[in-house]
């Protein structure tokens, strides 16, 4: 495939932003006006559980001046296909000034999104993964046929996104690789035309999002799966103080009042007791962190339409990442999907079936009692 010479802009952004969390998203610009570069870091799942297309597009529009180079850096396990397609189109509209950069992993919907960039640079130790779309569904046979038709249509959207980047790629071979769930190294991605250049390798752990997402893939590389069992990294700067500090005196009543007032103001009064339990009123810092965590947990439960679990998760002291994992498992096991949850327009839904009225034993019994009572009363009157 012939390629025009294009300027390398991805190294002109100055000091790289240090990523501290597995799910992390930010925009920044650097340099003088004539050398301004906009960087967008998509480090996390794409869609409801992480970085939505709406958030991505709105934030990019707010920062974009229409002329500065834009670098979209990806380290994502994937997520919602339609959000990935929207990101793809947003990057494509930027034209030649847009560079996609795969820092560690661009899998599933993330591979669709990054291919919208005019130029894609993949780190030498990074990977790109392509596969068929899938979702979760429930219903009768006709419902499943409709879902299968939608999956076929979304597959064509995926193929079109990849071919927009690699126009010379063989269609049959591309479909074979997508169907087989193919994990591509940097050199393989460039050879296929899905990336333009192999960049310098950088030490960035693959963003695996929730472990359940990676484990449902059939051919995930063993080294990525092994990361799920690795202990969290410890900040070397957080050494033990010697001698240890004397713990400050805690005003428990003041902290309890703080929890009550702030929960009431935030509309989460049901989480007062769970917060008292999880924070143990140890310190103001712990209470403030608990309040922030409780609001995030509640928002996640509401978004998943499972608000009844918010108190349980707050009481257990779970953070947002752990709650996402629990909610994900509940949605999957209940048959509710989120990856292609907007694939069936309401306009095409069949009219609700009219069900026969079910018998009401209570009403039947009451009617019979009333009838028997009336018969007995009439018979008694006739004898008088």
Q: Domain map of the chain by residue range?
A: 24-227, 252-334
List, in order, residues 6 or more apart from 134 with CB less than 8 Å away.
Answer: 151, 339, 340
In contact, 51 and 22? CB cutoff 8 Å = no
258 has pLDDT over 70:
yes
Report the pLDDT value the prediction gives residue 373, as an integer from 0 to 100. 61
Q: What is the spatial distance between Cα 219 and Cα 256, in angstroms, rounded to a whole number?
A: 50
The residues, any chain, with a CB within 8 Å of residue 199's CB and separated by 6 or more, are 10, 101, 121, 122, 123, 124
Query: Residue 17: which pLDDT band, with cuts at 50, 70 and 90?
Result: very low
The two tokens of residue 142 are 């006709």
pLDDT band at 166 (very low <50, low <70, confident <90, very high): very high
Q: Is pLDDT at 56 greater than 80 in this prediction?
A: yes
Mean pLDDT of the chain: 75
Please give the pLDDT value at position 9.
24
List all residues 6 or more positions away from 130 whose beta carbon is below 8 Å from its beta carbon: 108, 111, 158, 162, 177, 178, 181, 182, 184, 194
First vs last Cα of the chain: how many Å apart? 108
Q: What is the mean pLDDT of residues 273-285?
A: 85
Q: What is the pLDDT of residues 304-361, one digit of tens each?
A: 888 889 899 998 888 887 888 788 777 766 654 444 433 333 344 444 444 445 555 5
State the average pLDDT over residues 215-223.
70
The DSSP symbol for 151 reads: H
Q: 194 by DSSP, 3-state: which?
A: coil
Nearest 10 degrees: Cα torsion 302, 305, 307, 309: -120
Residue 158 and residue 129: Cα distance in Å, rounded?
12
pLDDT greater at residue 283 or residue 13: 283
Least confident of 28-32, 85-89, 295-299, 302-306: 28-32
CB atoms within 10 A of CB 199: 21
Distances (CA, A) of 229 to 91, 220, 267, 368: 35, 15, 37, 66
Q: Is the pLDDT of residue 83 over 50?
A: yes
Return the higher-pLDDT residue of 229 and 384: 229
Residue 371 above 50 pLDDT? yes
Q: Which of 6-15, 150-159, 302-311, 345-354 is most confident?
A: 150-159
Q: 3.90.226.10, 3.30.70.890, 3.40.640.10, 3.30.300.210: which CATH number matches 24-227?
A: 3.90.226.10
pLDDT at 341: 38
Please give the sequence-ordered ranges of beta strands (E in DSSP) within the chain, or none if there are none: 24-30, 37-43, 70-76, 98-107, 119-123, 127-130, 182-185, 197-199
- pTM of the prediction? 0.57
pLDDT classification of 164: cutoffs 50, 70, 90: very high
Give 360 or 162, the one with higher predicted confidence: 162
- Give the span between the Cα atoms of 198 and 279, in whole angstroms: 48
């Amino acid at each position: 495939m012939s390629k025009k010479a294009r300027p390398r802009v991805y190294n002109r952004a100055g000091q790289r932003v240090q990523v501290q969390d597995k799910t992390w998203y930010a925009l920044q610009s650097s340099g003088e006006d004539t050398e301004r570069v906009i960087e967008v870091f998509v480090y996390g799942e794409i869609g409801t559980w992480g970085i939505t297309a709406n958030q991505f597009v709105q934030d990019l529009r707010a920062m974009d001046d229409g002329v500065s180079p834009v670098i979209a850096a990806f380290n994502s396990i994937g997520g919602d296909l339609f959000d990935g397609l929207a990101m793809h189109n947003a990057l494509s509209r930027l034209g030649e000034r847009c560079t996609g950069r795969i820092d560690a992993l661009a899998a599933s919907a993330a591979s669709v999104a990054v291919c919208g960039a005019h130029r894609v640079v993949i780190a030498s130790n990074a990977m790109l993964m392509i596969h068929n779309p899938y979702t979760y569904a429930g219903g009768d046979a006709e419902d499943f046929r409709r879902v299968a038709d939608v999956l076929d249509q979304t597959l064509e959207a995926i193929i079109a996104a990849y071919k927009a980047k690699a126009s010379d790629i063989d269609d049959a071979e591309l479909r074979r690789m997508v169907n087989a769930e193919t994990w591509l190294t940097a050199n393989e991605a460039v050879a296929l035309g899905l990336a333009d250049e192999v960049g310098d390798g950088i030490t960035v752990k693959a963003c695996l999002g929730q472990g359940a997402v990676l484990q449902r893939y059939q051919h995930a590389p063993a080294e990525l799966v092994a990361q799920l069992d690795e202990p969290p990294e410890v900040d070397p700067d957080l050494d033990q103080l010697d001698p240890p500090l004397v713990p400050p005196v805690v005003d428990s009543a003041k902290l309890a009042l703080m929890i009550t007032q702030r929960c009431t103001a935030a509309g989460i009064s049901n989480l007062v007791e769970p917060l008292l339990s999880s924070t143990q009123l140890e310190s103001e810092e712990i209470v403030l962190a608990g309040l922030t965590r409780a609001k995030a947990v509640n928002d996640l439960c509401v978004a998943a339409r499972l608000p009844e679990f918010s108190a349980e998760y707050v009481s257990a002291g779970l953070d947002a990442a752990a709650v996402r994992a629990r909610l994900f498992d509940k949605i999957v096991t209940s048959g509710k999907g989120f990856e292609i949850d907007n694939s069936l327009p309401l306009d095409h839904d069949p009219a609700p079936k009219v069900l026969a009225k079910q018998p009401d034993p209570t009403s039947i019994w009451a009617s019979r009692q009333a009838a028997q009572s009336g018969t007995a009363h009439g018979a008694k009157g006739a004898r008088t």
